[in-house]
Amino acid sequence: MPQIVVMGVSGCGKSSVGAALATVLSGEFIDADDYHPQCNIDLMSRGTPLTDNDRVPWLHTLQRLLQAHSKNTPTHYLVVACSALKRSYRETLQTGAADTLFVHLHAPYSVIWDRLVARQGHFAHSDILKSQYEALDLDHPTAATSTTNPTAARDGDGCVATCTDRDEACTDRKGACTDRDWACAGPGINVYPVDVSTLQVCEIVSDVGQCLGQTYGVAING
């Protein structure tokens, strides 16, 4: 069974969805938040965004975990909640774990902002959210494009450039690629976009779980 990385900006629901998805898949769950060095936690607690350099050791730790899982041809899924904001980060995570799939939880800025402000007991300060959207480097289409966020708006246009490629690239894995299937975000990177604006966690898990079930022929629990 492959590795599933649940990705997106801080507050999009990675931990909630990732943990629930691992449960219905009878898989293992890892929260990338638990692998940040203390210096990164200190920065984010103060509302200071991480840089590429800050993220490198953290991403390599996660990459080793994904690689170890992939190499052992496991009989269970590994679900990792990790922001994976940039394409280069996703490529790092997939190094040595080419069968890793990504589920991108996305919503307009205002939706996520409200959730972050309401969230209790997390080290990340809501002030990092703007930088998270700015860092988000998407190369796959998403339905939601926020009018308040120029990065997201640009991604909507980016769909035109990527749709043709992803149709072909998906053929290897599934033989077909529709908007409801795993979208290919470039060679070797498969992304499944989910608009989390209105869906509850259980609905998101059901949606992703069904897609996985169709792709891998494995029934999900619940």
Ligand X SMILES: O=C(O)[C@H](O)[C@@H](O)[C@H](O)[C@H](O)COP(=O)(O)O
Ligand Y SMILES: Nc1ncnc2c1ncn2[C@@H]1O[C@H](COP(=O)(O)OP(=O)(O)O)[C@@H](O)[C@H]1O
Instruction: Give me the residues that bind ligand X (CB under 6 A), please.
Output: 10-11, 14-15, 33, 36, 44, 50, 55, 83, 85, 122, 124, 132
Query: Binding to ligand Y by residue 190, rule CB under 6 A?
Result: no
Q: Which one of ligand Y, ligand X, none is in contact with 13 (Cβ closer than 5 to 8 A by kind)?
A: ligand Y
According to CB under 6 A, which one of 1, 4, 5, 16 is a site residue for ligand Y? 16
According to CB under 6 A, which one of 1, 5, 12, 205 is a site residue for ligand Y? 12
Q: Which one of ligand X, ligand Y, none is in contact with 132 (Cβ closer than 5 to 8 A by kind)?
A: ligand X
Using a 10 angstrom Cβ sphere, with 0-12 exposed, 13-18 middle and 19 or more buried, the burial of residue 85 is buried
Nearer to ligand X, 1 or 84 (CB): 84
Size of the site for ligand Y (CB under 6 A): 16
CB 15, min distance to ligand X, A? 5
Residues 124 and 52: their CA atoms lie apart, in Å, by 17
Residue 7 near residue 66, CB atoms below 8 Å: no
Query: Binding to ligand Y by residue 40, rule CB under 6 A?
Result: no
Nearer to ligand Y, 115 or 125 (CB): 115
Query: Binding to ligand Y by residue 93, rule CB under 6 A?
Result: no
Q: Which one of ligand Y, ligand X, none is in contact with 115 (Cβ closer than 5 to 8 A by kind)?
A: ligand Y
Radius of gyration in angstroms for the set of CA atoms belonging to the chain, rounded to a whole number: 16
Q: Which one of ligand Y, ligand X, none is in contact with 199 (Cβ closer than 5 to 8 A by kind)?
A: ligand Y
Residue 78 near residue 5, CB atoms below 8 Å: no
Query: Binding to ligand Y by residue 200, rule CB under 6 A?
Result: yes
Binding residues among 110-149 for ligand Y as defined by CB under 6 A: 115, 119
Nearer to ligand X, 15 or 190 (CB): 15
Q: Which one of ligand Y, ligand X, none is in contact with 154 (Cβ closer than 5 to 8 A by kind)?
A: none
Q: Which one of ligand X, ligand Y, none is in contact with 50 (Cβ closer than 5 to 8 A by kind)?
A: ligand X
Q: What's the chain look like in SS3?
A: CCEEEEECCCCCCHHHHHHHHHHHCCCEEEEHHHHCCHHHHHHHHCCCCCCHHHHHHHHHHHHHHHHHHHHCCCCCCEEEECCCCCHHHHHHHHCCCCCCEEEEEECCHHHHHHHHHHCCCCCCCHHHHHHHHHHCCCCCCCCCCCCCCHHHHHHHHHHHHHHHHHHHHHHCCCCCCCCCCCEECCCCCEEEEEECCCCCHHHHHHHHHHHHHHHHCCCCCC
Query: Binding to ligand Y by residue 80, rule CB under 6 A?
Result: no
